């Protein structure tokens, strides 16, 4: 039998809610999600918690633990003092559905606006040839489990929903970087990264990197190099000169149109 811990959990829905205290048993080696499951099984059968793999691989159980964005399945109880009250609240940036579950559809909408992987159509099945060193940069970003903790913590949208239209957030700016650095991709997304997805809003405070459970260096390896590429594109004298001579400015693949309601 483990000792009892106090969980203070936000209960409610989009309309209203409040923090409720629970005393729950916790055992050695457990994570926050274990204790939440015990709470569901013994005291609060209808407590809404989103989870799936309980192995840090699917990115479902994102929540705020004592105000810090974390995966509940990777947050060990040993992190807390034995008599500490652990406060669990839903991700603040996204609308609450119920209890600890939020509506993260914003992220899926943004994902759909970014022009997809565009290989050279002349490359046949099995004919791609890429060096490990060239795929590694994009591979780092493809480790992303889409827990959206970086989206949640980013101050551009955390308390500024008005920015959501113009700013895709670190996860999707990183997706653009991933495609741009993919050796087999042929599209250009540098201008739209700035103009449509709000790369310029990022002022590299690195909060996204700090909360990433996959330890992806989002700012250093994706966002800053992406900013450099955008600058290179916009202010490259050769690009400027060739545009002057040919009277043609290079164009990006346009962002995908959003559904009109």
- Subset of residues 151 to 210 that bind another protein, contact rule: CB under 8 A: 179, 182, 184-185
CB distance 137 to 226 below 8 Å: no
For tokens 């889409």, the residue is: 146
Say how far apart CA 60 and CA 74 lie, in whole Å: 11
Does residue 116 bind another protein (CB under 8 A)? yes
Separation in Å, CA 146 to CA 30, 125, 168, 175, 216: 24, 29, 14, 11, 12
Q: Tell me the number of residues near another protein by CB under 8 A.
A: 66
Tokens standing for residue 86: 């652990």
Nearer to another protein, 49 or 150 (CB): 49
Tokens standing for residue 159: 């308390």
CB distance 45 to 39 below 8 Å: no
Does residue 240 bind another protein (CB under 8 A)? no
Does residue 4 bind another protein (CB under 8 A)? no
Does residue 59 bind another protein (CB under 8 A)? yes
Tokens standing for residue 237: 């004298």
From candidates 55, 67, 237, 251, binder to another protein by CB under 8 A: 55
Does residue 247 bind another protein (CB under 8 A)? no
Does residue 82 bind another protein (CB under 8 A)? no
Say how far apart CA 43 and CA 20 lie, in whole Å: 12
Does residue 79 bind another protein (CB under 8 A)? no
Does residue 72 bind another protein (CB under 8 A)? no
Stated as kind and residue range, the H or E segment containing 7 is strand 3-12
What is residue 101's three-state secondary structure? strand
Residues making contact with another protein (CB under 8 A): 13, 27-31, 34, 40-42, 45-60, 74, 76, 97-99, 101, 103-104, 108, 111-112, 115-117, 119, 123, 125-126, 128-132, 135, 138-139, 142-146, 179, 182, 184-185, 215, 256-257, 259-260
């Amino acid at each position: 039998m483990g000792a009892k811990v106090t969980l203070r959990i936000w209960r409610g829905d989009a309309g209203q809610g409040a923090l409720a205290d629970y005393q729950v048993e916790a055992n050695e080696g457990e994570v926050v999600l274990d204790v939440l499951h015990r709470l569901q099984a013994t005291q609060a059968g209808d407590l809404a918690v989103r989870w799936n793999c309980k192995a840090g691989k699917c990115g479902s159980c994102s929540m705020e633990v004592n105000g810090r964005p974390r995966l509940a399945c990777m947050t060990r109880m040993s992190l807390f003092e034995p008599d500490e009250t652990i406060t669990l609240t839903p991700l603040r940036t996204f609308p609450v559905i119920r209890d600890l579950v939020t509506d993260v559809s914003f992220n899926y909408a943004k994902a759909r606006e970014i022009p997809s992987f565009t290989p050279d159509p002349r490359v046949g099945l099995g004919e791609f040839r890429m060096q490990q060193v060239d795929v590694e940069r994009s591979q780092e970003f493809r480790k992303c489990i889409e827990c959206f903790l970086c989206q949640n913590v980013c101050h551009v949208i955390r308390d500024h929903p008005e920015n959501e239209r113009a700013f895709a957030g670190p996860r999707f700016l990183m997706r653009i970087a991933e495609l741009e650095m993919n050796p087999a991709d042929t599209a250009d997304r540098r201008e739209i990264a700035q103009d449509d997805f709000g790369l310029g809003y990022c002022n590299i405070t690195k909060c996204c990197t700090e909360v990433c459970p996959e330890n992806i260096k989002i700012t250093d390896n994706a966002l800053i190099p992406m900013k450099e590429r955008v600058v290179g594109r916009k202010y490259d004298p050769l690009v400027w000169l060739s545009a002057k001579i040919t009277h043609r400015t290079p164009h990006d693949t346009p962002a995908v149109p959003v559904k009109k309601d």
